[in-house]
Chain A
Amino acid sequence: QSVLTQPPSVSAAPGQKVTISCSGSSSNIGNNYVSWYQQLPGTAPKLLIYENNKRPSGIPDRFSGSKSGTSATLGITGLQTGDEADYYCGTWDNSLSALVFGTGTKVTVL
């Protein structure tokens, strides 16, 4: 069961920008950091953003994160065909005492 809501899909042409929203509540996003993951077909998810807006080493600055209240956003600029993947947000939920993930968003490069 996903307690974080994301749009099922977003798309844009190569070189363009897409944003993915992640909506939660005060028990999760509202009081905890948000992370974002990229999952290419047939592979394990990969951390793209942690603590709302930090990028791990090796993640290009085309990927950015932000948070406001009980929502968060992932932005991808300069879209490339290699960015076609499923993207998930994640955060800790204080009520469940568990890490929770978003419903997932499929990014398509037109």
Chain B
Amino acid sequence: EVQLVQSGAEVKKPGESLKISCKGSGYSFTSYWIAWVRQMPGKGLEYMGIIYPGDSDVRYSPSFQGQVTISAGKSLSTAYLQWSSLKASDTAMYFCVRQNYFGTSYIEYWGQGTLVTVSS
């Protein structure tokens, strides 16, 4: 069974750094792309970027380029999303998702989400 299990909720202050994780299991982690999707409170879904764990090829959506860093650790079957300096506007639920290939038009597998709250 394919599973994406994300790290727990975080409460941070503006300016702090953060790295959240997404562990894949039940499939060959290095053979499928992992993307991150943001959902701000009461808002819709936004595609942030995607990584191919097999060779760490990363692509960012224009709106998120330079704002976050996506990475992956093959040995741990885990993908990461990190911020160097959080802002209050980063408060959101973040989902990791598995995509069959770059350019696929649908997402079949979703993580449970990680809630990030940034507040002074």
Which residues of A are in contact with B by a Cβ distance under 8 Å?
1-2, 32-35, 37, 44-47, 50-51, 56, 88, 90-92, 96-104
Given A44-B112, A88-B45, A99-B47, A32:B107 Cβ within 8 A: no
> Can you identify 13 A-B contacts, CB atoms within 8 angstroms?
A37-B45, A44-B95, A44-B111, A44-B112, A45-B95, A46-B110, A47-B108, A50-B106, A90-B105, A97-B59, A98-B47, A98-B62, A99-B47
Which residues of B are in contact with A by a Cβ distance under 8 Å?
35, 44-47, 59, 61-63, 95, 99, 103-108, 110-113
Given A2-B44, A99-B47, A101-B47, A45:B106 Cβ within 8 A: no
A56 touches B108 (CB 8 A): yes
Main secondary structure of the interface of B (DSSP, over half): loop
Checking B44, B99, B113 against A44 with a beta-carbon cut-off of 8 angstroms, the contacting residue is: B113
B61 touches A92 (CB 8 A): no
Main secondary structure of the interface of A (DSSP, over half): strand
Checking B45, B46, B105 against A50 with a beta-carbon cut-off of 8 angstroms, the contacting residue is: B105
Checking A1, A90, A91, A104 against B63 with a beta-carbon cut-off of 8 angstroms, the contacting residue is: A1
Chain A residues whose C-beta falls within 8 Å of the C-beta of B59 in the assembled complex = 97-98
B105 touches A101 (CB 8 A): no
